[in-house]
Amino acid sequence: MPDILSTAQSLIEQTVRDHRGNYCYTCSFQVEDVVLLHLLKTVDPEVPVLFLETGYHFPETLAYRDQVASDWKLNLVNITPPAEAPVELYKTDPAACCNWRKVKGLMAGLDNYNAWVTGLRREQSPTRANLQYVEPHKLPSGRQIQKISPLAEWTWKDVQAYATINSLPELSLYADGYTSIGCAPCTQKPLDPGNLRSGRWGGNKLECGIHTATER
């Protein structure tokens, strides 16, 4: 862990130097996101922490978000959909539901910044296997911003080790057997114990669209 931790810390410090006041961090309050949040706030306590308030989160997720935001005095920004999506769209078209409740609001919100920090890791999914630490991303508006992923090389074991060493609070759903947590209707316990994200969308898709909707 020392090498990847040092790399993450250096990238965070560089991001703050280059973009202070003009970058944000998207956080779902899953464990890797809280690990990165812990690293970020030691360098820039005022970093805007964007949370996608879809209207479908587990009550436990929202309570945990609020507790961490209060305890850590976060600059929390709740991003809501641009308009109300059709009721229970997730049942008939999960991709459209994600696009409406996550992608549209976030892409509009990102237009306020020049850099976007994420907790993505290469190990999470085949769609993230080629993730780079810093990548250019073009927003739907046509603006190009930097997308920065300081934990790109971290494994699940690295994430757990950091959380344990630093006594980070944990979302209670992990203790219930969940390993990747999103909106309640589309999240279940892993279908494949070897694939932490296999409980998302019934295993029918890998991404909500946030990280595949923009152009490089």
Judge whether residue 75 has pLDDT over 70: yes
Answer yes or no: is pLDDT of 200 > 80.
Answer: no
How far is Cα 110 from Cα 53, in angstroms, rounded to an integer? Answer: 15
The pLDDT score that the predictor gives to residue 126 is 74
Range 12-39 average pLDDT: 97
Integer angstrom CA distances of residue 103 from 51, 110, 131: 12, 10, 19
The pLDDT score that the predictor gives to residue 191 is 79
* Gap between the Cα atoms of 87 and 91, Å rounded: 9
Q: What is the mean pLDDT of residues 13-25?
A: 97
Q: Cβ(165)–Cβ(177) under 8 Å?
A: no
Between residues 69 and 179, which one has the greater pLDDT? 69
Q: Is the dihedral of CA 54, 59, 65, 66 positive or negative?
A: positive
The interaxial angle of helices 2-19 and 31-43, nearest 10 deg, is 60
**Residues 159, 38: contact at Cβ < 8 Å?**
no
Give CA–CA dist 72/27, Å, rounded. Answer: 14
Residue 208 annotated in active site: yes
How does strand 144-148 pair with strand 115-117? parallel
Which range (14-23, 30-39, 118-127) has the least confidence?
118-127
pLDDT at 2: 72
**Statement: residue 207 has pLDDT above 70:** no
| 8 vs 191, more confident | 8
Predicted confidence at residue 132, as pLDDT, reads 92
Do 201 and 94 form a contact (C-beta atoms < 8 A)?
Answer: yes
pLDDT tens readout for residues 88-109 = 888 888 888 888 888 988 999 9
**Domains of the chain, each with CATH number or no CATH:** 2-203 (3.40.50.620)
The predicted structure's pLDDT at residue 83: 78
pLDDT for 216 equals 44
Q: pLDDT exceeding 70 applies to what percent of the chain? A: 90
* Calpha distance 23→47 (Å, rounded): 7
- Separation of alpha carbons 99 and 85, rounded Å: 10
Catalytic entry in 98, 183, 186, 208:
208
Q: Around Cβ 9, how many Cβ atoms within 10 Å?
A: 15
Q: The tokens of 205 are what?
A: 């898709």
Query: Across all residues in the chain, what is the average pLDDT?
Result: 89
SS3 category, 123: helix
Q: Which residues contact 87 (CB under 8 A, 6 or more apart)?
A: none
